[in-house]
Amino acid sequence: MPVSLLGAAEIRRLAADLDVTPTKKLGQNFVVDANTVRKIVQAARVSASDRVVEIGPGLGSLTLAILEAGASVVAVEIDHRLAARLPETTAAHGVAEDRLTVIDADALQVRELPGEPEVLVANLPYNVSVPVLLHFLETFPFLRRGVVMVQAEVGERLAAPPGSKVYGAPSVKAAWYGPWRLAGTVSRQVFWPVPNVDSVLVGFERDAVPRGDEELRRRTFAIVDAAFQQRRKMLRQALAGVLGGSAAAASEALERAGVDPTSRGEQLSIDDFVRIAAL
Ligand code: SAM
């Protein structure tokens, strides 16, 4: 039996049935357009042999599109009513039971994923999109690539190169794991309820060889946080606290790392930050 997708009317019916009124707190804007969920699955290049993890499956629109492509899905959903209903919905749409595993939990707290899925596909809850992405990349090294839908400003920030206006701590931390790219825009009209922000797709590929171990990652992220907490200040001042306790000590360390002490965090690439942290 081929897998069928959810239509707008069925999504509203399901929500009414479950007594779910979408909440802002949980970033609940459900996609009610089949073309959009197929577009996300195509952008993520999901194929039949893939094991996919989805964060926030909601009523199942995107989940069914991933399953339609033949992949298996582990879905992490915080809303108990939605998590409990998902297997029934996918079964009614032609999906064999063993292709979906639902984890009823806060994605920020999840520390294990069955089957070690290598692809992340999600329409992320907007209020926690960056912490959830960083938590997943840090905790699950088997995740190789992914495409997620996020608020436009967040997607632009994640994919921003050094020197651009929106380049910030999330851009550098995301780049620790590998390259990011903008992968398309999404109209507000495909959501129910219609959000008051624009959305984009953003994709990543994890580097084949990690930049360093957990200790180096932690040190790098601490330096990134210090640099961007005072982003208008020169690095020798912004990093004084984390590099030796004074501007002079920070200057010396930055010079040893080949970084101009009078530059600012927004000019530095992930490679520069890693060189500073590795000293
Ligand atoms: N994937 C569905 C779609 O595209 O229609 C729903 C996407 S909606 C933007 C975000 C979903 O994430 C909601 O189902 C919400 O309940 C869930 N969610 C919110 N915070 C979460 C968290 N911390 N962990 C897991 N799921 C979460």
- 122 plus 166 within the same structural domain: yes
| Integer Cα distance of 162 and 259 in angstroms | 14
Parent domain of 242: 214-278
In a domain, 108, yes or no: yes
Question: For 178-202, what is the mean pLDDT?
Answer: 97
Residue 28 Cα to ligand 1 middle (Å): 6
**Identity of the amino acid at 148:** V
Ligand 1, CB cutoff 6 Å, lining residues = 26-31, 55-58, 61-62, 76-79, 82, 106-108, 123, 125, 128
Q: Is 203 helix (H, G, I), strand (E, B) or coil?
A: strand
Q: What pLDDT sits at residue 279?
A: 87
- 20 plus 95 within the same structural domain: yes
- 149 plus 234 within the same structural domain: no
In a domain, 166, yes or no: yes
- 25 plus 153 within the same structural domain: yes
In a domain, 1, yes or no: no
- 189 plus 272 within the same structural domain: no
C-alpha dihedral, 233 to 127 to 269 to 202, nearest 10°: -150
What's phi and psi for 274, nearest 5 deg?
-65, -40
- 110 plus 127 within the same structural domain: yes
Q: What pLDDT sits at residue 1?
A: 75
141 in Cβ contact with 176 (< 8 Å):
no
User: What would the pLDDT profile of 31-63 be if each residue is shown by its tens digit?
Assistant: 999 999 999 999 999 999 999 999 999 999 999
DSSP for 119-130 reads EEEEE--GGGHH
**Which residues lie below 8 Å from residue 262, measured CB to CB, with a gap of 6+?**
234, 235, 236
Query: Which of 184, 205, 226 marks a domain boundary?
Result: 205
Residue 102 burial (CB count, 10 A): 20
Question: For 180-187, what is the mean pLDDT?
Answer: 98
Total domains in the chain come to 2
Residue 262 Cα to ligand 1 middle (Å): 43
Percentage of the chain with pLDDT > 90? 97
Residue 131 has pLDDT above 90, yes or no: yes
- 172 plus 190 within the same structural domain: yes
CA-nearest residue for atom 12, ligand 1, is 56
- 170 plus 237 within the same structural domain: no
| Integer Cα distance of 177 and 21 in angstroms | 36
Average pLDDT value over all residues in the chain: 97
- 200 plus 225 within the same structural domain: no
In a domain, 34, yes or no: yes
Query: Which of 183, 205, 227 marks a domain boundary?
Result: 205
User: What would the pLDDT profile of 207-266 be if each residue is shown by its tens digit?
Assistant: 999 999 999 999 999 999 999 998 889 999 999 999 999 999 999 999 999 999 999 999
Query: Which of 205, 227, 243 marks a domain boundary?
Result: 205
User: What would the pLDDT profile of 154-173 be if each residue is shown by its tens digit?
Assistant: 999 999 999 999 999 999 99
- 44 plus 125 within the same structural domain: yes
Question: Model pTM?
Answer: 0.97
